């Protein structure tokens, strides 16, 4: 079943910068899709469009077969979680616990169910000890995990992750990869971290200047050094190590 269908979408920012140009692909249930590309290739814009935060100038986005309209976007947001590139944009309530509870409360759950979901999400992300802390007092990695807990607490069917490992120390990065690897959700991960793509994704899309350069199985796409360089990327470290 297709979770997201994206057909020939175009998007330009108000200053005229073209971010996406005739982009088409689909995400099926259970897919763990990596989206890689150099800076400014349009990865974050794509996720914002998929979440309904931006509207494409041309083309169509559909969720579970229904084209985006107000109601579809609302129901899609109940089942889809977006992890923002900068977790500071996502965390805004006075404590981590309150922030993680924000989504479940908006789903209209009882306080008992909210508490159970928050405890579960904090446990899954391993940040129970941070629950009473103010989000703006956390380190970068802790903020990312707190933001991720906020998504997990909503029990989404699909995760959209924008640069989830940026700014994380190696241990936090491994932890995050292991958390994402364990989830059985459909996931779309926009990242520069190609080793992460190699670890958790089955399929990868390479973007360049707002267009899809390639879409295929992870090892096949990521192992071509010259091709990766032409897209402004490098081989994943594990491949680079093998080839040298």
Q: Which residues bind other proteins (CB under 8 A)?
A: 48, 51, 53, 77-78, 81-82, 84, 86, 89-90, 92-95, 98, 102-103, 105-111, 114, 132-134, 136-137, 150, 154
How far apart CA 91 and CA 80 sit, in angstroms, is 17
Query: Which lies closer to other proteins via its Cβ, residue 19 or residue 212?
Result: 19
Distance (Å, whole) CA 201 – CA 199:
6
Shortest CB 98 distance to other proteins, Å? 7
CB 108 → other proteins: shortest distance, Å?
Answer: 7
Give the nearer residue to other proteins in terms of CB position, either 43 or 203: 43
Select 86 or 215, whichever has its Cβ closest to other proteins: 86
In the complex with other proteins, which residue's Cβ is closer, 135 or 236?
135
What is the distance between the alpha carbons of residues 6 and 60, in angstroms, rounded to a whole number? 6
What is the nearest approach in angstroms of other proteins to the Cβ of residue 104? 9
Nearer to other proteins, 95 or 166 (CB): 95
CB of 130 to other proteins, least distance (A): 12
CB of 156 to other proteins, least distance (A): 10
Of 161 and 198, the one with the shorter C-beta distance to other proteins is: 161
Tokens of residue 227, six digits = 């091709």
Q: Give me the count of residues in the chain.
A: 244
User: Contact 41/209 with Cβ under 8 angstroms?
Assistant: yes
Smallest separation (angstroms) from other proteins to the CB of 218: 27
């Amino acid at each position: 079943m297709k979770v997201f269908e994206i057909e020939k979408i175009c998007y330009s920012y108000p200053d005229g910068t073209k971010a996406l140009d005739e982009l088409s692909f689909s995400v099926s249930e259970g897919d763990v899709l990596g989206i890689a590309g150099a800076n400014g290739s349009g990865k974050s814009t794509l996720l914002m469009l998929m979440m309904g935060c931006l509207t494409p100038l041309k083309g169509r986005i559909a969720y579970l077969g229904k084209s985006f309209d107000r109601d579809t976007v609302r129901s899609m947001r109940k089942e889809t979680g977006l992890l923002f590139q900068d977790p500071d944009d996502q965390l805004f309530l006075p404590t981590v616990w309150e922030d993680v509870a924000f989504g479940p409360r908006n789903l209209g759950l009882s306080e008992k169910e909210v508490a159970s979901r928050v405890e579960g999400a904090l446990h899954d992300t391993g940040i129970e000890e941070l629950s009473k802390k103010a989000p703006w007092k956390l380190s970068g990695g802790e903020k990312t995990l707190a933001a991720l807990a906020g998504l997990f607490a909503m029990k989404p069917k699909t995760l959209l992750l924008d640069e989830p490992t940026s700014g994380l120390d190696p241990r936090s990065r491994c932890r995050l990869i292991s958390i994402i690897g364990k989830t059985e959700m459909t996931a779309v991960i926009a990242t520069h971290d190609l080793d992460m793509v190699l670890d958790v994704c089955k399929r990868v899309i390479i973007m360049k200047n707002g267009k899809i350069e390639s879409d295929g199985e992870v090892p096949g796409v990521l192992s071509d050094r010259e091709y990766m360089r032409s897209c402004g990327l490098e081989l994943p470290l594990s491949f680079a190590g093998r080839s040298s």
